[in-house]
Amino acid sequence: MFEVFLKEVKELLRDRKTLFFVIALPIVIFPVLFALLALLASKTTLEAEQKVHTYYIANAHLAPEFEERLFYHKSFKPYEGEERFESEQALVDAVRAGKIDVGVVIPNQFELGQPLTEQSRWQIVFNDAQSINFVYKRLETLIYKFAAQIRATSLKALGVPQSQHKALLTPIAVTKVDTADKRENYGEKIGAFIPYMLIPLVLMGASYPAIDLGAGEKERGTLETLLLTPVTRTQLVLGKFLTVLASSIACAVVTVSSLAVWIGIASGFGVLDSIKEAFASVSIWDYVLIFALLLPVAVMLSSLVLAISIYARTFKEAQNYMGPLSMLVFVPIVVSLMPNMSLTSLTAWIPITNVSLAIKEIIKGTVDYGAVAMIFVASALLAGALLTCCVRWFSRETVLFR
């Protein structure tokens, strides 16, 4: 078995494609890709926030002070065309036509300086599908500040001392006291995305070598030669399996190590300092637990991809089978990202979902070690069953010589 393993490893190390997918791609391309995506996202967000948006106020004469505030705001400029949009529908049509970016409708009943008899409802017209919701927030803030000024004037006219305005308008102030520490907060927000990255990496690291060791051997006609050697089929398939498993784990370890190095470099320039500080309390024991949970997952996925590869007639056919498998792996990971999904006695038995939830709890620092032990046992039993099926699959002549 180990002779087969060493032979397969040597062949994979001679294959430039394998080295690229397992080593070069995780070390260089993934971190660079993530950095470019982050740079592009920050750049587009900054450009969108700095863009000056064209506005139009219907019935602007009813609130000249608000119009003046909006005129001098750095993010807005008035519409300079000849057309007039004095109704909600006219503003909707103008926004859809691209003549303005946002419109404000001041109702005809609004009279500045008059005693307030009822609530005045202003409307902000914009296209929320264009991801400019912060424009709405800015306008809403301006309107609330203008409303606060009107409120203060009205209360003063009623004879209420200014010192009592705050207590009268907000008799009870609520202060949030968060019992979660920084690690738990960050762990809840981004801890669920760590398995979303790690488990697909485990699958990717196993897929290419498995295709080459199964369908690739068939296509090259070397599988028959291996079967003639004085090695049992069980030893042969286990040797191939160990090669696929080693490649799978190596891909995940190399990628995570590479990302850790890049994050350390970014932290040296003052970037991601808060995240680095939050995860400083994650101990070596926690990382060992994460690796221990990923190990049976790697065994599961390596067994599956090797069985698929052995079944396929050609390299291309095996690649076609890997697509649906990738989707099936993503589904339980996505389930773990759903709101209110937590590690319970029920979710602890759902394959891959249980590991994803456990990794999130480990990152948060709120893990139940009893549940982790249960998950490890359940995953190990499933991994053993899948490996047994893979060995039996390899022993069938109808599979090997399709």
Q: Is residue 43 part of a domain?
A: no
Q: What is the pLDDT of residue 15?
A: 65
Q: Is residue 36 part of a domain?
A: no
Q: Which residues pair with 57 in a beta bridge?
A: 104
Together in a domain, 192 and 148 = no
Strands 76-78, 102-105: parallel, antiparallel or unpaired by DSSP? unpaired
Q: Is the pLDDT of residue 58 over 90?
A: yes
Residue range 242-267, pLDDT digits in tens: 888 988 888 777 777 766 666 666 66
Residue, of 297 and 269, whose pLDDT is higher? 297
d(CA 62, CA 114): 11
Q: Is residue 224 part of a domain?
A: yes
Q: How confident is the model at residue 18 (pLDDT cuts 50, 70, 90)?
A: low
CB 104 within 8 A of CB 122: yes
Together in a domain, 255 and 390 = yes
The CATH number of the domain holding residue 153 is: 3.40.190
pLDDT more than 90, % of the chain:
14
Residue, of 377 and 280, whose pLDDT is higher? 377
The dihedrals phi and psi of 103, each to the nearest 5 degrees, come to: -130, 150
Q: What is the pLDDT of residue 273?
A: 60
Q: Which residue segment(s) compose the domain that 369 sits in?
A: 2-30+182-400
Residue range 112-156, pLDDT digits in tens: 666 566 788 899 998 877 655 678 888 888 988 888 888 888 888
Average pLDDT over residues 83-94: 91
DSSP state letters, 62-128: G-HHHHHHHHT-TTEEE--SS----SHHHHHHHHHTTS-SEEEE--TT--TTSPP-S----EEEE-G
Residue holding tokens 């022993």?
A: 395
Residue, of 183 and 385, whose pLDDT is higher? 385
pLDDT more than 70, % of the chain:
82
pTM for the whole structure: 0.68
Q: What is the pLDDT of residue 168?
A: 79
Pair of tokens at residue 335 = 């389930």
Q: Is the pLDDT of residue 269 over 60?
A: no
Residue range 206-236, pLDDT digits in tens: 888 888 888 888 887 777 777 777 778 888 8
Together in a domain, 311 and 343 = yes
Together in a domain, 238 and 91 = no
d(CA 71, CA 142): 11
Together in a domain, 163 and 230 = no
Taking alpha carbons only, the member of 221, 230, 238 closest to residue 8 is: 238
Q: How confident is the model at residue 29 (pLDDT cuts 50, 70, 90)?
A: low
Q: Is the pLDDT of residue 44 over 80?
A: no
Q: Is residue 44 part of a domain?
A: no
Together in a domain, 261 and 116 = no
SS3 of the chain: helix, strand, coil, percent, to 5 = 70, 5, 25
Together in a domain, 17 and 84 = no
Together in a domain, 135 and 249 = no
Q: Is the pLDDT of residue 274 over 70?
A: no
d(CA 53, CA 47): 12
Residue holding tokens 């024991």?
A: 285
Q: Is residue 176 part of a domain?
A: no
Q: What is the pLDDT of residue 11?
A: 64
Structure-derived torsion over alpha carbons of residues 68, 70, 75, 76, reported in degrees to the nearest 10: -90
Together in a domain, 270 and 149 = no
Average pLDDT over residues 9-38: 66
Domain limit, last residue, from 122, 146, 169: 169
Together in a domain, 214 and 288 = yes
d(CA 127, CA 136): 10
Q: Which residues pair with 103 in a beta bridge?
A: 56, 125
d(CA 307, CA 394): 7
Taking alpha carbons only, the member of 181, 222, 239, 202 closest to residue 364 is: 181
Taking alpha carbons only, the member of 291, 316, 300, 303 closest to residue 240 is: 303
Number of H helices, E strands in the chain: 18, 4
Pair of tokens at residue 185 = 């907060």
Together in a domain, 241 and 304 = yes
Q: Is residue 22 part of a domain?
A: yes
Q: Is the pLDDT of residue 282 over 80?
A: no
Taking alpha carbons only, the member of 195, 289, 201 closest to residue 247 is: 201
User: What mean pLDDT, rounded, does the chain reach?
Assistant: 81
- Domains: count for the chain: 2
Q: Which residues pair with 56 in a beta bridge?
A: 103
Together in a domain, 157 and 219 = no
Return left, alpha or beta for 341; rule: phi > 0 is left, psi -120 to 50 is alpha, else beta: beta
Average pLDDT over residues 314-328: 85
Q: How confident is the model at residue 200 (pLDDT cuts 50, 70, 90)?
A: confident
